[in-house]
């Protein structure tokens, strides 16, 4: 997923709506509170987390606390990435 395709500025979390099980861990872990639980259901019957679209600082908290391997990837600027 490229910056253009997502429409988000780096850094940002790419949350796959299908893979989210709505546990809410990413929301609790986000220091900037830029992830929220959506209202819609995905194809597996869960609501899913959504990025508000701006404010991500690329801390990776959401990525590491997310228990689903394919639900969250975080896109960051390669120069800033550790």
Residues near other proteins, by CB under 8 A: 1-3, 10, 14, 18-19, 21-25, 28-29, 44, 46, 60-61, 63-70, 73-79, 81
Note whether 76 and 37 are within 8 A (CB).
no
Q: Shortest approach of other proteins to residue 52 CB, angstroms? A: 19
Q: Shortest approach of other proteins to residue 55 CB, angstroms? A: 17
How many angstroms from the chain centroid is the CA of residue 31?
A: 13
Q: Shortest approach of other proteins to residue 57 CB, angstroms? A: 13
Distance CA 38, CA 51 (A): 9
Query: Which C-beta is closer to other proteins: that of 23 or that of 52?
Result: 23
Report residue 49 as tokens: 């987390």
Cis peptide before 11 (omega within 30 of 0): yes
Task: Let me know how long the chain is.
Answer: 82
Query: Which C-beta is closer to other proteins: that of 54 or that of 77?
Result: 77
């Amino acid at each position: 997923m490229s910056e253009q395709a997502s429409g988000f500025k780096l850094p940002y979390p790419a949350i796959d709506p299908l893979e989210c099980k709505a546990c809410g861990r990413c929301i609790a872990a986000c220091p900037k509170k830029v992830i929220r639980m959506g209202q819609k259901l995905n194809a597996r019957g869960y609501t899913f987390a959504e990025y508000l679209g701006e404010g991500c600082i690329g801390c990776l908290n959401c990525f590491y606390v997310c228990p689903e391997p394919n639900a969250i990837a975080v896109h960051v600027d390669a120069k800033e990435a550790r």
